[in-house]
Amino acid sequence: MLVVSVLGPGQSLAVSGEVGVQTVADLRTALHAAVDAGSGDLLLDCDAATFVDATGLGALLSAHRRAQRAGRRLVLTRWAPRWPGCCSSVGCPA
C-alpha cells in the first residue's frame, strides 16, 4: 500500500509504503500535480517509504525532468537508508 500526503500544496509531499508496479501511478500523478501547481523546490519526504523498485525510480526521474522543465527541482529528503536495493540495482550508491 502506498500513501502520498500533501504537506504543502505544490511545495512538499510525503510518501509512505511501497512504491512498485502496483502503486507507482499514484506517486507519479501526485508528483506531476505538485510540480505543475507550485514554484521553487518540490520536497519529497521519503522517510516512511519501505520499498522502491525500478518503476518507482523511473517515476522519480520523470518528475525530476518535469520539474527541470518548469524551472524547479525535485529534492528527495530522508531516503538513502530505505532504498539500498533500488540504488544498487541501477548502479548508484545508496
Tell me what pLDDT residue 82 has: 55
Domain count, the chain: 1
Q: What is the rounded distance in angstroms from the CA atom of residue 13 to the CA atom of residue 24?
A: 15
Q: What is the pLDDT of residues 57-89, one digit of tens each?
A: 999 999 999 999 999 999 999 876 555 555 555
Tell me what pLDDT residue 93 has: 47
Phi, psi values for residue 55, rounded to 5°: -70, -35
Range of the domain at 37: 2-89
Write the CATH number for 13: 3.30.750.24
User: Of how many residues is the chain composed?
Assistant: 94
Residue 14 predicted with pLDDT over 90:
yes
With residue 8 as reference, give the H or E element that holds it: strand 2-8
Tell me what pLDDT residue 52 has: 87
